Every structure is written in C-alpha cells, then in structure tokens.
Structure 1
Amino acid sequence: MASSKSSVSDKDKGALIAAACRDRDVPALVRLATSTAGLLSDGLRRTAWPLLLGCPEHDAPPPPWTERPPHKDEHQVGLDVARAFVYYPANDSHRQLDRRRSDLSSVILHVLRRHPALCYFQGYHDIVQVFLLVLGAHDAAAAVARLSLLRIRDFMLSTLDPAISQLHLLRPILRAADPELMAHLPTSQPSFALAHTITMFAHNIHDYADITRLFDFFLAHGAVMPIYLFAAVVLSRRDDLLDIEHEDEDVLYVTLGKLPQPFDVEFHIARTLELYERLPPQSLGSWEWWKISSSSVLRTAATVADVRRLTLQDGERFLMQQEKNIRRQQALCKASQNALYIKRHICIYRRYGYVGLAFIVGAYALWLGRRGPNARYFLYGSLGDLLNKFIGRSAS
C-alpha cells in the first residue's frame, strides 16, 4: 500500500530495518520504528510487526477456528464488519471489498473463538482491518491474538471500567504538564478520548499511511502510549481550548473529541515521546496510576520486551485475574449501595416512625372499636408490645 517512490535515505533505512528483522535485533527495530517515517512500507512491516509482538517464528498451526463453538459477540462482529474498509483501500471493487470483509470476519472470529473469554468491543474491527491489510489474512490472526491478549486486553473485558481507568490517567498527565490548561478542561469523565485510545486511533484516522505509521510507533512502545498521544494532542491545542469559555463545557467536550485537521502524525509522535520521557506514569504520584490493576496491560505490557516475553496463556491468566477484580469491585459497589439504601431508610424511619406508629395505632383502634369490647381488651394487651418494638428499633 506504500508508495513505490523512495529517497536514498529511505532505501538506507529500509536496509537497516530488514537487517534488524533478519537479526531479530528488537532494540534496533524499536528505534527505527520510532524514528521519522517509521517502518516505511508494508513489506517491511510484515516481518517487523510480528517480531515486535513476539509472535513465534514456527508455531504449529492450530485446529481450524470453524470447529470451535460460536462466540457470544458474533452478531455484533457481523454488523461492524459490514461497515469496514470505508476509507481505505481506495478504488477496490465491490467484489474485492466483499472478499476483504470476509477475511476480516475470519480473522476476528479466529481470535474470539480460540480465546472465548475475550469480549468484542465496537471499534475492534478498525484495528484488525489495519493488521489484515498489512499482514494478510494468513498471518494477521496470530498477531491480532497477541495484540488482543497482551496489549489491548483492558478493552476486551466484560466491562469498560479498566478502559475508563486508563482514561483517568489523562488528568495527572495534563495536570503535571500544564496546570492552567487542566484547570480549564471539563471536570466530567474523559470519555471524549475513548474512541481514540480504545482503537489505537484507527477509528478516527482515515489516512492509511498515517495509521500504519502510528501503529509502528505504538507497537514499538508500551501499551500506555495511546493515552500519552491523546494527552500530547490536547496540549498541542492549548490556545484553541483556552479560547473557549470555561463555562461552555459542551463545546470543550466536543472539541476534545476531535483530532486537529490536518493531523501531523510525525509532530504528534515527537510530542508524545517528549511528554512520556518527561512524565512517565510512575513519576506522576497520582491516585489514578496507583489504582491501575497489577494485571492491566499498562503494567504487564510496559515495554516491547515485556510483550515479547509473555505467552498467550499469560494473557489469559491476566484476563481471568482482571475479571475476578471486576467482580470483586462490583460486589463492593453493590454492598456500598445497599448500605447507603439501608442508612437512608433508617433515617426516614427515625424521622417518621412515630408518626407512622400513631397512624397505625389509630387505624388499629378504630378497627377494634368496631369489633366490640373483647377486641378493645386485646388492643390494650398488644399495644404495649407494639410500642416496645417501635421504641426498641428506633433506639438501635
């Protein structure tokens, strides 16, 4: 998909990338993928991306995914795949697009059926279609499986809570980088960044050369880089954002959710690196970073070396631990809500209990009065017990 035109420097760099892939020199490949223009072409990426993800060279072919039970999210996969390949590749015929969508569906279902604990999210197909175009249908599934379990696992859990926890890191990053700008931004949950970060920006960048270049950068660094890129984009728009009235939260919110156009990929990658090196997450000293799960990709996939060291089984183990943490948090949240509910009703009871008692006793007396003198005698015998119960409960 890359242009056939190459400068002399591009040819020299291409030779260096090819040599790094051949020698499996990952540190050199990281430097080359980070530098201007990244990995240059899809031909080089076909070797480099699986290497950066730690894909085994000679893995035994797994049993066909079609023999496995359907995944629970396959209906949504079908809906999203039908909307794929809108912006690229250009000039494909309807028949070619149908074939690409069929291949895309196969890659996604291959991953989901082989790893059924993963939950599909809308926008996942935006990521996978880039891998399909670069690696081809045959090699994309193995790379996407490792990406899913080891780098974007936080987005493929039963809730989006871990994804939202990642977004909350924007606050301490922006606060440390530019306190004035941070104070001007909306205080609501930063979900304006979700579509960008959860899809590695593939949902919002419509130029194929730009998104493959950005993927070079992301795959050469830790899983937190999409968060830092978004923060860098916000900082680059400082003047525009400060020109919007602080009270116009809706306008600020909408503006934050859009990328600047045209989007200068190289400029924003350079700003992201600068920001990350100056303010790495562990230096923030923030509650937002402290509360990130030890099983989150932000901690288990902090570097390319971490990703390459891990196996798919490690990814599934971390996923199960994260799901366990999610269930624990949900139980704690439910218990807290129940405690608040009980406390509120105790307060209501203490405030209105005696009024309610008077009403009940009055109605009871009226009913007994109609039942005759024997019933009145019963009233006097039981009223003491009723009062004792109410007074005892109120005291407690």
Structure 2
Amino acid sequence: MDSTESSLEARPTVAPKTHSLNAACSNGDVDALRQLAISKGGLLDDEVRRIAWPLLLGCAASNVDEPQVKDLPAHSDEGQVQLDVDRSFVYYPRGESDEKRESRKQELSKVIVTVLRRHPMLHYFQGYHDIVQVFLLVLGIDAAVNAVSRLSLLRIRDFMLPTMSGTEPHLRLLPAVLYAADPTLASHLSQTQPFFALPATLTLYAHEIEEYGQIARLFDFLLASEAVVSIYLFAVVVISRKEELLEIEADEPEMLHSILSKLPKPLDLDSLIEHTVTLFRKYPPEKLPGRAWPHISSNSVLKTTRHLHDPTKQTLADGERHFEKEAAEIRRQDALERTQKQARILLRRYRRPATWTGTAVLFALLALYARSDASPSVTAWSSALAGIQRTLFDAWRRYLS
C-alpha cells in the first residue's frame, strides 16, 4: 500500500476482524467476505479490497489473449467519456500534483475505453466515470479493467442499455419499498416521482459521496449485496429524513424532489447499512406491495443477481446474453407504446364506433409483432401477421376517407 493510498484511508486497528478478513481472502471464502463487508467498518482498507472486490465480483485471472485496446474499433461514446474524465478526481485523492492527477485521468480513460471497446454493446452514461475512478484507485489499472467489465455486464447492465429505460424498474421499486416500510411517508411522497433517486442509484452513490473513505466503504457493502439492495438503501435514506419531509406539503413535489435528490450530510453509513439489511430481510422483493417485483424483466440485474451465492457462476457471455434480451424487450415495449399512442390519437380524432376501436387495438398488437426482431422460427407467422396488418390498415384508411 503506497503513501497516497495510506493518506486516502486511515487503517483502523481491529485485530480480530483483520484476522478474519485475511483468512477469508486467503481461502477465497466469498460468503465470509460478504458478511465482513456488510458488518461495521466494511473491509477496513484498500489492501484488503484489492483482493476482496475481485472475489466478490467473481473475477477470474486476466485473459492474456484479450485484444489490445488500440486494435479494437473506437466506441461511439468515447467523446463523452473524455469530457467526463476531464472532470474527474475533483474530491479525491487530495494533495496530489497536477502531473499526478493528469496521469490518473489518462489511466481512467484507458480503463473505460478498454471496457467499452471490448464490449461494444454497452452504452456509456454520465456518472459511469465516478464509479470507475473508485475501482481504479483501489485496484490499479490492470485489475480494474477486469473488475469493471464484470460490474458493467453483471451488476449495472440495466444502466448501460441503448436507452435509459432500464433504470425505470429500479426507480419504480422505490415507492413499493417505502410503502412496505412506512405507508405514511410513502403516501406523503406519492405525488413526487421517484426520479430523484436516479443520480445516486445510477452511479452506486459515487456521484453523490465526496469522501473517498465513505464511498469505498459503501462499495464494500454494495458489491457484497444483490443489485436491488441499492434501492433499499435509498429508501432507508429517505426514511431517515421523515421528519424533515413531512414538514413540506405533499402537493409541493418540486420542493420534495429538490430535497430528496441530494443525500444528507453527514452520512452515518454503518447505521444506514444496518437498517438497509434489516429492511431487506423484513420485506424482500417478492413481498413488496403492488406486484412491483413480478413486473420486472427476468433479464434485469435486479433478478439475475437475486440469490446469487457464487458470483463465478455468471460469465461475461451471460451478461451479454441478458443485455441483448432486455434490449429487445425494451424495443418491443417502446414499439407497442408508440403504436398505442398513435391509435389513441386516431380514436380521439375520429371517435368512430366500438367495432373500430377493437380493430385499432388488434392493429396495435399486430404492429408489435411486425416491428419486433423475429427469429427464424416465427418468420412465417410474422409475415402472415404483417399481411393482416396491411389489410386492416387499408380498411381503416378507406373508412376514415
């Protein structure tokens, strides 16, 4: 551990826990590491994290046969990556020279670009660099590439889809968790959309927490937990502010949103983590009200990390497969919503008899099939549906004329 890292994180002397951490790391005991990462103080220091984080993510030894980043096609998001990298390392490490900070930025850019070029289906989002810079500081550039690849495809994949639609199921779970935990507060916030939680949950809180020791300790907890636990953590933060929030009228969602979109300071992370674990055990996702959980895609990280005891059982190929399936689901849903919107506009405009309303609904359903990415096994069926769709469309057009 070099002097810079020593200055970033004071190493408390907790002999029994240090012994347990060393034993768990030496034995590759992921279950023990999870319990230790969740307990008070987390993994204690970066020396332990350098071993523990890759184990918690299920990282294998680096593949020496991976292509060099310079030999891979540029990713379309690299321009935005550079803009964000230029704004990185603002709060930590402290006291470094401009030369050292510039060197770190170059390393950060290399990690992000390498991950994106090796997995070009991933889409960069603003704030991703906040996550990656923590991994870079803890693990170093070589180990960070492997860890961030697995994090991206297996833990935050929903945030790296072609659109931001993948974030909505995460945010929509928040009201359900709040209703389960505190119906009074949830009702008070019911007019405020849960998008106030996006900056924190999207970046694993790295965009919101300015202290290196705090964000590293929080990553201990998040990497040791299922992806959905991040939402429970935000719910606990909201509940901790109940008194302040109830003082504001429920019909002032803008004011409530302004307060909720910023984390309170200071953060008692150990207390928040303890309450999050309790809340998660008391109201697991399957027991949340409003059927919030069943509506989530089976390809979402919210479900693919559920009850995942051995992280090595999931591969990067698994992540890519779930990515493509979820992206296809979103495309189909977007197409259906567009078609339904067009049908509603036509119905409002012309207000024709009920029989035509049924035809419009059928037309919307058929359009969904015709626009989706059909596999070879359903090509003939899709062609038939497309033919029926054209017939209905012609009849509809004649009727309107």
Shift of 1:11: 2.8
| Gap change, CA 1:312 and 1:7, over 3 Å in 2 | closer
In 1, are the aligned partners of 2:180 and 2:289 still within 8 Å (CA)? no
**TM-score with structure 1 setting the length:** 0.85
CA distance, structure 2, for counterparts of residue 154 and residue 315 of structure 1: 10
Q: Match for residue 161 of structure 1? A: 165
In 2, are the aligned partners of 1:150 and 1:307 still within 8 Å (CA)? no
The residue type paired with residue 18 of structure 2 is G
Secondary structure of the corresponding residue to residue 168 of structure 1: helix
Q: Match for residue 98 of structure 1? A: 102
Q: Match for residue 124 of structure 1? A: 128
In 2, are the aligned partners of 1:33 and 1:216 still within 8 Å (CA)? yes
Q: Match for residue 373 of structure 2? A: none
CA distance, structure 2, for counterparts of residue 233 and residue 275 of structure 1: 12
Q: For 1:315, which of 311, 314, 319 is the aligned residue?
A: 319
CA distances 1:353-381 after superposition (whole Å, capped 9, x unpaired): xxxxxxxxxxxxxxxxxxxxxxxxxxxxx
Structure 2 residue 74 is matched with structure 1 residue 70: yes
Q: Match for residue 352 of structure 1? A: none
The residue type paired with residue 149 of structure 2 is A
Secondary structure of the corresponding residue to residue 290 of structure 1: coil
CA distance, structure 2, for counterparts of residue 265 and residue 150 of structure 1: 25
CA distance, structure 2, for counterparts of residue 289 and residue 210 of structure 1: 30
Shift of 1:303: 4.1
Q: How does 1:37-116 map to 2 (within 5 A)?
A: 37-57=41-61, 59-116=63-120
Structure 2 residue 275 is matched with structure 1 residue 271: yes
In 1, are the aligned partners of 2:171 and 2:197 still within 8 Å (CA)? yes
Q: CA RMSD in A?
A: 2.0
CA distance, structure 2, for counterparts of residue 106 and residue 32 of structure 1: 32
Shift of 1:5: 5.9
Q: For 1:325, which of 322, 329, 336 is the aligned residue?
A: 329
CA distance, structure 2, for counterparts of residue 348 and residue 26 of structure 1: 63
Q: Match for residue 287 of structure 2? A: 283
Structure 2 residue 194 is matched with structure 1 residue 190: yes
Shift of 1:304: 4.8
Secondary structure of the corresponding residue to residue 322 of structure 1: helix
The residue type paired with residue 149 of structure 1 is L
CA distances 1:69-117 after superposition (whole Å, capped 9, x unpaired): 0001000000000000000000111100100000000000000000000
CA distance, structure 1, for counterparts of residue 244 and residue 233 of structure 2: 18
Shift of 1:225: 1.4
CA distance, structure 1, for counterparts of residue 310 and residue 55 of structure 2: 13
The residue type paired with residue 42 of structure 2 is G
Shift of 1:201: 0.2
CA distance, structure 2, for counterparts of residue 71 and residue 7 of structure 1: 42
Q: Match for residue 225 of structure 1? A: 229
The residue type paired with residue 98 of structure 1 is E
Larger Cα Rg: Structure 1 or Structure 2? 1
Q: Match for residue 256 of structure 1? A: 260
The residue type paired with residue 216 of structure 2 is T
CA distance, structure 2, for counterparts of residue 5 and residue 346 of structure 1: 70
Q: Match for residue 297 of structure 1? A: 301
In 2, are the aligned partners of 1:53 and 1:304 still within 8 Å (CA)? no
The 10-residue stretch of structure 1 (254-263 or 82-91) with the greater mean CA deviation from structure 2: 254-263
| Gap change, CA 1:102 and 1:304, over 3 Å in 2 | farther
In 2, are the aligned partners of 1:222 and 1:301 still within 8 Å (CA)? yes
Structure 2 unaligned runs (5+)?
Answer: 354-397
Q: Match for residue 138 of structure 1? A: 142
Shift of 1:331: 1.1
Matched residues, percent identical? 48
Shift of 1:348: 8.7
The residue type paired with residue 195 of structure 2 is S
The residue type paired with residue 78 of structure 1 is Q
| Gap change, CA 1:5 and 1:288, over 3 Å in 2 | closer
Shift of 1:162: 1.6
Secondary structure of the corresponding residue to residue 286 of structure 2: helix
CA distances 1:124-182 after superposition (whole Å, capped 9, x unpaired): 00000000000001110000000000000000001111201110101111011111111
The size of the alignment, in residue pairs, is: 353
Q: Match for residue 346 of structure 1? A: 350
The 10-residue stretch of structure 1 (298-307 or 260-269) with the greater mean CA deviation from structure 2: 298-307
Structure 1 unaligned runs (5+)?
Answer: 350-391
| Gap change, CA 1:188 and 1:7, over 3 Å in 2 | closer
Q: Match for residue 335 of structure 1? A: 339
Shift of 1:287: 2.9
Shift of 1:36: 0.6
CA distance, structure 2, for counterparts of residue 287 and residue 162 of structure 1: 18
CA distance, structure 2, for counterparts of residue 257 and residue 102 of structure 1: 31
The residue type paired with residue 107 of structure 1 is V
Q: Match for residue 213 of structure 1? A: 217
